[in-house]
Amino acid sequence: MGRRGEYMSSQLILNNSVVNDEWQLVMPPEAETAIKKQAGKVVIFKLTGEGSLTKEQIENTTFPKDGKVVLPVSVFLHHQQDLSSRISKQEIGIWIETHEEIDSFISDIDDINKLPLISVRVKKFADGRIFSIGNLLRMKYKYKNELRAIGDVLRDQLFFLKRSGFNSFLIRKDRDAQDALLGLSDFTNSYQGAVDQKKPAWKITKRN
């Protein structure tokens, strides 16, 4: 069975406001546990790391038959043809891990802008790959809809995530979303150009 709602108790910031989350996040089942011998000892470890979902995980991921759901991208691709009516009703979003290469699956999605929501899960606060993914989705692939950061998302990241194209943030459940919201205005001006302001400050500053 798939796991659902890992971050559902968290508060969502969308377009500079704290709002209720209409989406249900679908998680794949845990990877199988394997046993290895290491230095003469038996060590139990999970086959996780930064690998792709296994065929068994994809096939065994379950999700509701109605309502708005966010699927792992590999699960979405596996069911894409069967989900065409729900996609047209704006009921299907996807989520990706920061280690997943966008170029490797983007061409398999019929039209990225038919997806009302793309979430990117950052497992650790220090993982800066999420910023590059935001830039790619907005700048290279021209994604226009809701782009959400999920996982280990804290106040200190929000201003920079917004600069990278994110407009939605699911704050870690042990933190206060209202306080995190203030992080979007931590800085009043940005010197470098980015997704939210393409021209650098020195190009748009009026000279007296």
- Cβ within 8 Å of residue 149, ≥6 positions away: 119, 120, 122, 130, 134, 157, 161, 166, 168, 169, 170
Alpha carbon distance 182, 45 (integer Å): 40
% of the chain at pLDDT higher than 70: 75
Measured between alpha carbons, how far is 175 from 171 in angstroms, rounded to an integer?
7
Q: Which residues pair with 25 in a beta bridge?
A: 70
Structural domains of the chain ordered from first start: 3-204 (3.20.20)
Question: What pLDDT shows up at residue 94?
Answer: 98
Q: What is the pLDDT of residues 87-106, one digit of tens each?
A: 999 999 999 999 999 998 99
Distance, in Å, from the CA atom of 133 to the CA atom of 71, rounded to the nearest integer, reads 18
Return the pLDDT at 50: 65
pLDDT tens-digit map of 53-63: 999 999 999 99
Q: Tell me which of 17 and 187 has the higher pLDDT.
A: 17
DSSP designation for 16: T
